[in-house]
Amino acid sequence: MSAARPSLDSVTTINDDGSRHFLHPADTRGRWTTARRIVATVLIAVFVLLPWIQIGGYPAVFLDIAERRFHLFGWTIASQEMWLLFFLLTGVGFSLFFVTALLGRVWCGWACPQTVFLEFGFRALERLIDGDAPARRRLDAAPWDTAKTTKRIVKHALFVLFAAVIAHLFLAYFVSLPQLYAMVSSAPTKHWGLFLFMMATTGLLYGNFAWFREQLCIVICPYGRLQSALVDDHSLVVGYDAIRGEPRRQGRDGAPSPSASAPAGDCIDCLRCVHVCPTGIDIRQGLQMECVACTACIDACDDVMIRLKKPRGLIRYDSLTNFAGGRTRWIRPRTVIYAVLMLLGAAVLLTVLGKVKPVAFATMRMPGGSYFVDSDAVRNQLLVRLTNKTTAPRRLTLSLVGAPAGIQSTGTDAPIEVAPMEEGLHTVIVRMPRAAYTGKFRFKIAVRDEAGGYTLEREAEFLGPDPKLLDENYWREKSTR
Ligand code: SF4
Ligand code: SF4
């Protein structure tokens, strides 16, 4: 049982002297706990399996930092297209805003890795070794005898092991599984950087899940801090039905008792909802920033109501408006604005994706001279950089577009094959017979991708001397002057 009733003026997990009050939330059973356990199992399975599932020759999600490419479910984002991630991330951000405005902190309670791994991984292990919440509190207070020391060593060894497994699985998203296996099975001296990264990540995860726990949600998480701006009285939240529950039937720990004249409400002030809360709050005091919508208090209170033969739902998912006797409005300015921004982001992303071609190319002048004057022609040498952004080889053909009559080129005849995810530099020499040269001019270099059925074009400029300098009469006259 918690030392004191939670107060809105202080944080339950911090004692008056500033030290940490370590919580041992009681276990819950019920439909919401079961549903969350199923969701957590699916999410952990997805996290573990994604690096193993191959799509198009790459893991389903592979953030290949070394090659500066991301592979997302068969879609490869080359380094030149990283800007697309801006639309992806803002789209995800607006989707989260939209979902939060409708359903409150459903992300925190159901899908956030912090909640999923803490509640259904580390806390489950702790329960297995140390027992239920009262047993854990007794163990905390017990002297350091052999039994306590053994339990602590076993628990923290398993915590470190579990943290290391999560850290390695996380790394698999960035280095691929074969590489990860090669690293794990070789000496740390061969890859010091990654070894230290793994040690640091494991240490951070261990520290977070073994000790810091709910403090991450209360003190650090920026999404938690945004809640007051994202939700309103019509958002679904985990809340207490004060109209039905008050006045409490039986005062405990100094809580007010109902007067003889007022009929008792359904809340019996048993504090079950407080004891199961992983952030140590009393939801009956109203919506608070510390509430991560884990639904533990719903199951705890439903259990009490069933025993009392009362309807469930004294604590439930509902809007503050409904709790106050009004009606939830789903369509309101913030949900409309978030939905529009979300759809706008999706539309822009799809439009931009439709315009992105599997091949990119750029032209530049070959170092050594802007142009060359041969005995019979003016010559420009260009370098064409061809980039294949796909996972299959591509055959590309170069040609000149809009060049004046008489121009000749080499390097534009045969198709060029560019290997998957590779770049190739190709030389194009453009020659203009001296007799036909009348000064610099602009033209285009085109790349035809037969498989893709499209042509890309880039502007280029043919450079040369002042045409009169190529005229022999000019030099003859100049020498006779
Ligand atoms: S669990 Fe239900 S009955 Fe018990 S204190 Fe909480 S709200 Fe009241
Ligand atoms: S108040 Fe209820 S839903 Fe919110 S964190 Fe505590 S137990 Fe979870």
Rounded Cα distance, 285 and 294, in Å:
17
Q: Is the pLDDT of residue 256 over 70?
A: no
Tell me the CA–centroid distance for residue 282 and ligand 2, in Å: 8
Tell me the ligand closest to 294's alpha carbon: 2
φ, ψ (nearest 5 deg) of residue 42: -65, -45
Residue 306 tokens, joined: 């069933």
Q: Which atom from ligand 1 is nearest to the alpha carbon of 248?
A: 8
Ligand 2 neighbours (beta carbon < 6 A): 238, 276-279, 281, 283, 291-297
pLDDT of residue 23: 94
Which residue is listed with tokens 């490419």? 69
Confidence bin at 349 (pLDDT 50/70/90): confident
Tell me the ligand closest to 287's alpha carbon: 2
pLDDT in tens, 426-438: 999 999 998 888 9
Confidence bin at 24 (pLDDT 50/70/90): very high
CA-nearest residue for atom 7, ligand 2, is: 277
% of the chain at pLDDT higher than 90: 62
pLDDT in tens, 106-144: 999 999 999 999 999 999 999 999 999 999 999 999 999
Tell me the CA–centroid distance for residue 308 and ligand 1, in Å: 11
Phi-psi region of 104 (alpha: psi -120 to 50; beta: other; left: phi over 0): left
pLDDT of residue 248: 87
pTM of the model: 0.81
Domain with residues 359-472, CATH architecture = Sandwich (2.60)
Tell me the CA–centroid distance for residue 237 and ligand 2, in Å: 10
Label residue 330 exposed, middle or buried (CB < 10 Å: 0-12, 13-18, 19+).
exposed
Domain spans, the chain:
31-77+112-212, 359-472
Q: Is the pLDDT of residue 3 over 60?
A: no
Q: Which of 50, 77, 52, 69 lies closest to 61 in space, CA to CA? A: 50
Q: Which atom from ligand 1 is nearest to the alpha carbon of 315?
A: 7
Rounded Cα distance, 186 and 194, in Å:
12
φ, ψ (nearest 5 deg) of residue 84: -65, -25
Tell me the CA–centroid distance for residue 307 and ligand 2, in Å: 21
% of the chain at pLDDT higher than 70: 96
Mutate to test the pocket of ligand 1, among 5, 249, 270 (most ligand atoms within 8 A of CB): 270
pLDDT of residue 479: 74
Q: What is the distance between the terminal CA atoms of the chain, rounded to a whole angstrom? A: 111
The pLDDT of 1-9, averaged and rounded, is 67
Tell me the CA–centroid distance for residue 41 and ligand 1, in Å: 29
